[in-house]
Amino acid sequence: MGNDIMVNKNQIEQWIREGTITKEQADKMLRDISMYRKKQSSNKLITALSTIGAVLIGIGVILFIASNWQQMPNIAKVLVLLGSTAGSYYKGYILKYQRQTLVKVGAALIFLGALLFGATIFLIAQMYHINANTHTLLLIWLIGILPHVYALKTKPIAGLASLLFFIWIGLFVFRNMKFVSSDLIGLPVLYLVSGILLFGIGKLHYLSDNLKIIGRIYKITGIKISMLALFLLTFKFFSGYYGELDLSSQFTDGVIIFSILAIVLMAINLFFNPAKSKTSILEGAIGLGLLALALIFFFYPATTNIYVVLFNLILMGLILILLVIGYNREDMKLVNIGMVYLWIFLIVRYCDFFWELLPRSIFFMAGGLILTLGSIVLEKKRRLLKQKFVKLK
């Protein structure tokens, strides 16, 4: 995984004072840094535009087939879908890996191929009236793009695979729409478990240096989903007093299955992963602890709001842990996630506590003032940290 050390002007000036570098060297470093940042900004713009363009092309192909659905024979539809998918993969591979002339555009075309592959699966199933559950088709899509994730180390497709993983889990537990209203209340538990499961899958990839780039995407996505699920559990609607939840058997089975898988993976990473750093051990312990709490809450709901308080405390603790680990590892992504949830948490709790206590005018003025000042402070702190950190790609 390539690391780019971000050096700021103050560090260069300090090196001049210490005699580490000359003034001429410092000027060249500043010019190089300026050119590097401009190149990075340009690359991000090209990547964004290429990805948007690829998605629009995919939508255009699907709309073309849909608009001519009745007139086209099935074999023509299949050929158009397969030809578009194969052509996108082929052209993307040529541009990105063989000619290496338009790398970003090639990556976008490969991503387009992954999207068209999914559309092809669902449209062919519809054309030939294949009796398959939606979650089965989605699983075929997910399995079908995984070779590209590992063979090409393509980050966008790894991100797509992560997204499909979570959508598939939801469709799997709600297959054939056999669910009751209480299942919706249990969704945060399901996705907390699923987020930890993907995080464990990501950590397992760190056993191989070649797979770390993919493992990091899985880990970050798992953290984001877990934090979102935990945030939802801080509300009384999800973790307040309900007594016995009347959950469907397939929902309960799904939670149990994914919990067991997550526990096994987190235990493997905790005891067998060669990276025995304190933060790595802390991650494993937190993952297992969250899984234990999620299962206790799921099977033994309380007759009080104790879980609401507990989940609020745990979320606040995890935000602080993310900030500390992110700072120690010089990982800006973790710091950003921690700061985003810190800000959301403070805003939501402010509304909870003061909406009824303060006059509306004071509530909004005080909230606006806190929001403005807090944004300035957090953004300044984030920029200072970003200047120091190693920017992980």
* More confident site: 112 or 189: 189
How far out from the chain centre does Cα 146 lie?
A: 17
For 33-49, what is the mean pLDDT? 57
Tokens of 53: 């363009």
**Do 145 and 131 contact (CB within 8 A), yes or no?**
no
Is the pLDDT at 196 greater than 90, yes or no?
Answer: yes
* Predicted pLDDT of residue 4: 41
Q: In whole angstroms, what is the distance from residue 300 CA to residue 293 CA?
A: 10
Look at the block and give the residue holding tokens 């992110």.
Answer: 326
pTM of the model: 0.75
Q: Per residue in 105-143, is it b (16+ CB within 10 Å) or e — as a string?
A: bbbbbbbbbbbbbbbbbbbbbebeeeeeebbbbbbbbbe
Q: For the ranges 44-58, 78-92, 129-143, which has the lowest average pLDDT?
A: 44-58
Please state the domain extents for the chain.
Answer: 321-393
Lowest mean pLDDT among 3-17, 59-73, 185-199: 3-17
Report the interhelical angle of 278-299 vs 249-272 (nearest 10°).
Answer: 160
At 264, the pLDDT band (50, 70, 90 cuts) reads very high
8 A C-beta contact, residue 61 and residue 80:
yes
Per-residue pLDDT, 303 = 75
Please tell me which residue, 256 or 331, carries the higher pLDDT value: 256
**pLDDT > 90: percent of the chain:** 23
The answer to whether the beta carbons of residues 212 and 204 sit under 8 Å apart is no
Residue 231: pLDDT band by 50, 70, 90 thresholds? very high
156 in Cβ contact with 130 (< 8 Å): no
Question: If pLDDT is split at 50, 70 and 90, which confidence band does 210 have?
Answer: confident
pLDDT at residue 208, rounded to an integer? 83
Which among 281, 194, 283, 184 is positioned nearest to 230, based on CA atoms?
A: 194
Query: What is the C-alpha to C-alpha distance for residues 362 and 143, in angstroms, rounded to an integer?
Result: 54
- pLDDT digit string, tens, across residues 159-180: 999 999 999 998 888 876 555 5
Across the chain, how many H-helices and E-strands are there?
15, 2
Question: Do residues 223 and 162 make contact, with C-beta atoms less than 8 angstroms apart?
Answer: no
Residues contacting 123, CB < 8 A, separation 6+: 62, 65, 77, 81
